Amino acid sequence: MKLKNISLFLLASVVAASCVDLNYTEQNTRDEEWTYEYFENGIKNMVYDVYAQVYNQEFESNSAYFLAGATDEAQYALETGAVNNYVNGGWSPANPYSRTWSKCYTAIADACMYLEKIEQTDISDWQYNSSYPIWKAQMELFPYELRFLRAYFYFELIRAYGDVPLVTTTLNNAQANSVTRTPVEDVIQFIVDELDAVAPYLPVSYLTEAGAEVGRATKIAAYALKARTLLYAASPLFNTNNDSAKWTKAAEACKFILDNADTWGLKLSTYGSLWGHDAFFNPELIFGIGRGESNAFEMANYPVGVENGSSGNCPTQSLVDQYEYQASGKTFGEVNTGSINLLSADPYAGLDPRFALTVVKNGDEWPTNGAQKKAIETFIGGFNASPKYGATPTGYYLRKFVDGSCVTTADNQTTRRHTWIIFRLAEVYLNYAEAVFHATGGANNSFQGGMTANEAINVLRGRADIQMPAFTEDGAAWVTRYERERLVELAFENHRFWDVRRWKKGSQYFKTIQVASISASKQLTRTTVTRQWDDKYYFYPIPQTEIKKNPKLVQNPGWDQAN
């Protein structure tokens, strides 16, 4: 069949959601002949549609991309923000808000269809076209990329819903409306087996592959997804019997990545270079979402008072209290109890460098561009504070992922590329430490001739730009400090929402949060904000629309009586 040339460049591209309505609850509407007749508008776009669902945000607006506002990391400034529905009781099967179910099954349906029809594709008619070698090489990789993506979406499904229908073929309407939920252990095994099968065929990098279309699934991404999946499988939410063998499997999967990191060119970077205009090429990044030049995220998260700023995701005092001082290793919350006089001393001096790279506090000059640079005032009556509508409700603003060089004034605006992290090397070190601690029974026990849990943590804390006191704890004290370290290192990377769930510690971390209020006289006091938490929140409700179409989809516990 005849094909047309196309250059699919995922880096820094704004990828729209799939334009084809395909899922397991409706009839397939894609025209098959059209799909497989053209490389540009058919074959390659089929793969493109699946990737598009990775880029499909949890919510409609860039301003609420993070799930941080439903955790102790942040409070979303505007009450109308969709993320607030997770903590204010507005969440139910009838109003699930999350698009995870439809997004994932749309992508899975696309992947299954292509994998079934791949033998129909024939590009030999174009063998004399100058792009033919690139097309041929890309088509050889497409099946392995699609199997990786299908596994990725099944992981997203199990961490959100637990047991889910495991479907690996296209279904008609009647079949789709009669599927049942597959035990999560079986879905996890499917994910792991698929990743083991496809990883050897995927490249380490696409920079040297035909077309050099970076941003696609790699060998390292497959192993990183496997390691994360096994960590979840070993965690209390799924590992109800605390089977140590599951922790061992997770540790082995992480160790394999760490042992091969140098060979693959994977290495830790400075913390501040994880985001910004050129972050997509950061050597620590394993898999990420590249976005084209924009300042929409800055407009959503710049402080109120900065022209076109909407406050967005505001870090909490609960988060700030977890940062340790470089000299003592004690946390901000331990050292600064009660109210704090910000005029008498700087309580933030000497904190973990990751704090200043993550949080904007009162007095910081922000944003950094010359046109808008100004000292931020978060005290009551200040330029960026209440009573202005939409001002930070926490006393802080977000810096991490926000590019302060973007100008958002009405005239002469500037834009920058953005990269959202899905997998990076630091997470693997943390996953390894957690798995090894549980697999070996201690933080100072070597695992299969490799690092101890503490040694892995200290690799991160010992980075030249961080230089934090080493971990020496063990037992319950280690768990507490590890959970804090994971929060600090991975802040605003959409881990906290899921980590607390897999640990089954929702009541401990999510029922209440601390926010700061700074008086006009610069006195900081903590205020407790109570949020709604119910243990049924460990899993999402299956959308009621899906239950009505297929009554065999039994609702998750606790959600069956929800309105």
pLDDT tens-digit readout, 440-456? 999 999 999 999 999 99
Task: For residue 21, tell me if it sits in a domain.
Answer: no
Write the pLDDT tens digit of every residue in 240-260: 999 999 999 999 999 999 999
* The pLDDT of residue 38: 54
pTM: 0.93
Task: For residue 84, tell me if it sits in a domain.
Answer: no
Task: For residue 19, tell me if it sits in a domain.
Answer: no
* The pLDDT of residue 18: 33
Averaged pLDDT score across all residues of the chain: 90
Q: How confident is the model at residue 196 (pLDDT cuts 50, 70, 90)?
A: very high
Return the closest-CA partner of residue 532 out of 41, 87, 178. Answer: 87
169-178: long-range contacts at Cβ-Cβ below 8 A with a sequence spacing of 24 or more?
169/112, 169/116, 170/28, 170/109, 170/112, 170/113, 170/116, 171/24, 172/27, 173/25, 173/26, 173/27, 176/23, 176/24, 176/25, 176/26, 176/549, 176/550, 177/25, 177/549, 177/550, 178/550, 178/552
pLDDT of 507 strictly over 50: yes
Q: How confident is the model at residue 7 (pLDDT cuts 50, 70, 90)?
A: very low
Q: What percentage of the chain carries pLDDT values higher than 70?
A: 89
Q: How confident is the model at residue 42 (pLDDT cuts 50, 70, 90)?
A: low
3-state secondary structure 192-257: HHHHHHHHHHCCCCCCCCCCCCCCCCCHHHHHHHHHHHHHHHHCCCCCCCCCHHHHHHHHHHHHHH
Q: At which residue do the structure tokens 């605003």 appear?
A: 492
Structure token pair of residue 41: 């508008």
Task: For residue 449, tell me if it sits in a domain.
Answer: yes
Q: How confident is the model at residue 6 (pLDDT cuts 50, 70, 90)?
A: very low
- For residue 224, the domain's CATH number is 1.25.40.900
Mean pLDDT to the nearest integer, 368-389: 97
Mean pLDDT to the nearest integer, 32-44: 57
pLDDT of 15 strictly over 80: no
Task: For residue 307, tell me if it sits in a domain.
Answer: no
Task: For residue 439, tell me if it sits in a domain.
Answer: yes
* The pLDDT of residue 129: 72
pLDDT of 336 strictly over 80: yes
Domain coverage including residue 257: 218-293+421-494
pLDDT of 510 strictly over 90: yes
Return the closest-CA partner of residue 400 out of 513, 465, 314. Answer: 314
User: How many structural domains does the chain have?
Assistant: 1
Q: Sheet harboring 340-341: ordered strands across? A: 340-341, 523-530, 512-518
Q: How confident is the model at residue 1 (pLDDT cuts 50, 70, 90)?
A: very low
Q: How confident is the model at residue 290 (pLDDT cuts 50, 70, 90)?
A: confident
Q: How confident is the model at residue 39 (pLDDT cuts 50, 70, 90)?
A: low
Task: For residue 365, tell me if it sits in a domain.
Answer: no
* The pLDDT of residue 12: 29
* DSSP class per residue in 370-386: TTT--B---STTSTTST
Task: For residue 555, tell me if it sits in a domain.
Answer: no
Percentage helix, strand, coil, to 5, in the chain?
Answer: 40, 10, 50
Mean pLDDT to the nearest integer, 20-45: 50
Q: How confident is the model at residue 17 (pLDDT cuts 50, 70, 90)?
A: very low
pLDDT of 305 strictly over 90: yes
Q: Is the dihedral of CA 370, 372, 376, 381 positive or negative?
A: positive
Mean pLDDT to the nearest integer, 337-351: 96
